Structure 1
Amino acid sequence: MAWEKVKLGDICAWVASGGTPLTSKADYYSPKEIPWLKTQEVNYCRIYETNNQISKKGLENSSAKLIPANAVIVAMYGQGDTAGRVAINKIPLCTNQACCNLVIDENKADYEFVYYNLCTLYDKLVSLKNGGAQPNLNAGLIKNLEISLPPLSTQKRIADILSAYDNLIENNQKQIKLLEEAAQRLYKQWFIDLRFPGHETTKIVDGLPEGWRKGSIGDIAEFKRGKVITKGDVVEGNVPVVAGGLEPAYYHNASFTESPVITVSGSGANAGFARMYFQKIWASDCSYVDSSATIFIYFVYSFLKENKKSLDSLQKGAAQPHVYAKDINALKLNCPPKDLLVKFEKSVKPLFDKIGKCQNVIEKSKDARDRLLPKLMSKKMEV
Structure 2
Amino acid sequence: MIPALRFSKFKSEYLPKIIDEIAKVTSGGTPSRAKADYWNGHIPWVTTSQINFKDITAADEYITDLGLKKSSAKLFPKGTILLALYGQGITRGRVSVLEIEATTNQACAAIILESEDVNTRFTFYYLQSKYEDIRNLANDGGQKNLSGGLVKSLSVVLPSDVMEQAEVADFLTSVDNKISQLIEKHCLLKDYKKGVMQQIFSQQIRFKDDDGNTFPEWNTHELAMLSESGISNGVFNDPKKVGKGFRLINVKDMYKGDSIEYSELTLLDLEPKLFEKNKVKYGDIFFTRSSIVPTGIAFSNVNLSEKEDITFDGHLMKISPNKKLVDPLFLAYYLRSYAPRKALVSRGKQSTMTTIAQDDIKDIKLNIPALKEQQKIAQFLQSLDKKINAVNEQIEQTKLFKKGLLQQMFV
TM-score, normalization by structure 1: 0.60
Mark the CA change 1:63 to 1:341 in structure 2 (over 3 Å): closer, same or farther.
farther
Contact 1:59-1:65 within 8 A present in 2 as well = no
Aligned to 1:364: 397
Structure 2 unaligned residues grouped into runs of 5+: 1-11, 208-216, 225-229, 234-238, 244-251, 257-262, 267-281, 283-295, 300-304, 306-314, 322-327, 346-350
Q: How many equivalent pairs are there?
A: 298
* Aligned twin of 1:236: none
Aligned to 2:192: 182
SS of alignment partner, residue 177 of structure 2: helix
Instruction: State the SS of the aligned residue for 2:388.
Output: helix
Cα deviation for residue 66 of structure 1 reads 3.5
**1:124 equivalent in alignment to 2:133:** yes
2:179 corresponds to which residue? 169
Q: Distance in 2 between matches of 1:338 and 1:213?
A: 14
Residue 34 of structure 1 contacts residue 55 of structure 1 at CA under 8 Å; is this kept in 2? yes
The TM-score, its normalising length taken from structure 2, stands at 0.56
Contact 1:28–1:54 (CA under 8 A) maintained in structure 2:
no
Q: Which residue of 2 aligns with 1:158?
A: 168
CA distance in 2, matches of 1:361, 1:120: 21
Identity level (%): 28
CA change 1:105–1:53 in 2 (3 A) is: same
In structure 2, the partner of 1:56 is: 64
Of 71, 85, 96, the residue aligned with 1:76 is 85
- Alpha-carbon spacing, 1:300–1:164, altered in 2? closer, same or farther (3 Å): farther
SS in 2 for 1:135: coil
Alignment of 1:59-138 (within 5 A): 59-60=67-68, 61-105=70-114, 107-130=116-139, 132-138=141-147
Whether contact under 8 Å (1:18, 1:99) holds in the other structure is: yes
Which residue does the alignment assign to 2:21?
10
In structure 2, the partner of 1:376 is 409
**Mapped partners of 1:137, 1:29: distance in 2:** 28
Provide, for residues 195-240 of structure 1, a one-character-per-residue CA deviation record: whole Å limited to 9, x for no partner.
5659xxxx9xxxxx9838899xxx99x9xxxxx9xxxx9xxxxxxx
In terms of Rg, which structure is larger?
Answer: 2
Pairwise CA distance, 1:139 = 1.7
Q: CA deviation at 1:86?
A: 1.9
The match for 2:46 is 37
SS in structure 2 at match of 1:295:
helix
Q: Which runs of 5+ in 1 are unaligned?
A: 204-208, 223-227, 234-241, 247-253, 259-271, 275-279, 281-286, 311-315, 318-322, 379-383
In the alignment, the residues of structure 2 paired with residue 57 and residue 342 of structure 1 have an alpha-carbon distance, to the nearest angstrom, of 61
Q: Is 1:148 matched up with 2:182?
A: no
Q: Is the CA contact 2:43–2:65 (under 8 Å) kept in the aligned structure 1?
A: no
Is residue 20 from structure 1 mapped to residue 53 from structure 2 by the alignment?
no
Which stretch shows the higher mean deviation, 181-190 or 117-126? 181-190
Q: What do the CA deviations read for 1:338-381 (whole angstroms, capped 9, x no partner)?
A: 66876665554444333222212211111112112222112xxx
Match of 2:368 in 1: 337
Letter in 1 for 2:185: Q
